[in-house]
Amino acid sequence: MTAPNGHGSAVRITALAGNPRPRSRTLGLARTLAAELAGALPGATVGEVDLAGLGPRVLDPADPAAGAAEAEVLGSDVLVVASPTYKASYSGLLKAFLDRFATGGLAGASAVPVLLGGAPDHRLAVDLHFAPLLLELGAQVPVRGLFVLESETQDFGRFAAGWAHAHAAALLPARASPRPPRLIARTTSPTQPPVSTERTLP
């Protein structure tokens, strides 16, 4: 049986990695969690956007590759959005890419924020900065986001399997209407209150 989205078609899951380094551990986390979610949602398809391959082109509204990445995100039902922790927040590359979307542009999609950090004292960044950004863009953040220590990356696959099994159903979107027209616009500062998104691995 195929897990449907709100329009009756198969769920599309996209791993979005905001690390400027290619083949990063951040990308590995996003891929792993997206794959486990797809395994928990029969028939789901998986896409990938690695911003390391785009770099400064995310700032060019006319760049074809950046536009294709944007279209992939807009066509997704579930977004696994992963970033390294930079100065207690998400990366500038990820923010520059997400600035391509209008406020509310991700309405109808569910998102899972994932931060990779070197020290546990940065774990509140998921709650204070990352989730509010996704909410400002209109995505739902129905489950707690993840803060993953660099020392935990090797065991993340096992954790992700259990996490996906427990939370996949909560991420299923319920799109009753099409999304707003695609616009290129700068986002404003988050105005919605942050949700509790802190999560560390056992």
48: domain CATH number is 3.40.50.360
Kindly report the CA angle at 31 between 73 and 39, in degrees rounded to 5? 95
Question: Which residues in 85-181 belong to E strands, given as ranges?
Answer: 110-117, 146-149
- The answer to whether residue 54 sits within a structural domain is yes
In angstroms, the CA 6 to CA 10 distance is 9
- The answer to whether residue 192 sits within a structural domain is no
- The answer to whether residue 187 sits within a structural domain is no
66 phi, psi to nearest 5 deg:
-65, -35
Tens of each residue's pLDDT in the chain, 202 residues: 455 655 567 899 999 999 999 999 999 999 999 999 999 998 999 999 999 999 999 999 999 999 999 999 999 999 999 999 998 899 999 999 999 999 999 999 999 999 999 999 888 889 889 999 999 999 999 998 999 999 999 999 999 999 999 999 999 865 433 444 443 333 333 333 333 333 334 3
**For the stretch 74-94, what's the b/e string if a residue is b when 16 or more beta carbons lie within 10 angstroms of its beta carbon?**
bebbbbbbbbbbbeebbbebb
Q: Is 116 helix (H, G, I), strand (E, B) or coil?
A: strand
- The answer to whether residue 96 sits within a structural domain is yes
Cβ count within 10 A of residue 188: 8
- The answer to whether residue 176 sits within a structural domain is no
The domain of 120 spans 12-171
Domains held by the chain: number: 1
- The answer to whether residue 88 sits within a structural domain is yes
Cβ atoms of 113 and 131 within 8 Å: the answer is yes
- The answer to whether residue 188 sits within a structural domain is no
- The answer to whether residue 193 sits within a structural domain is no
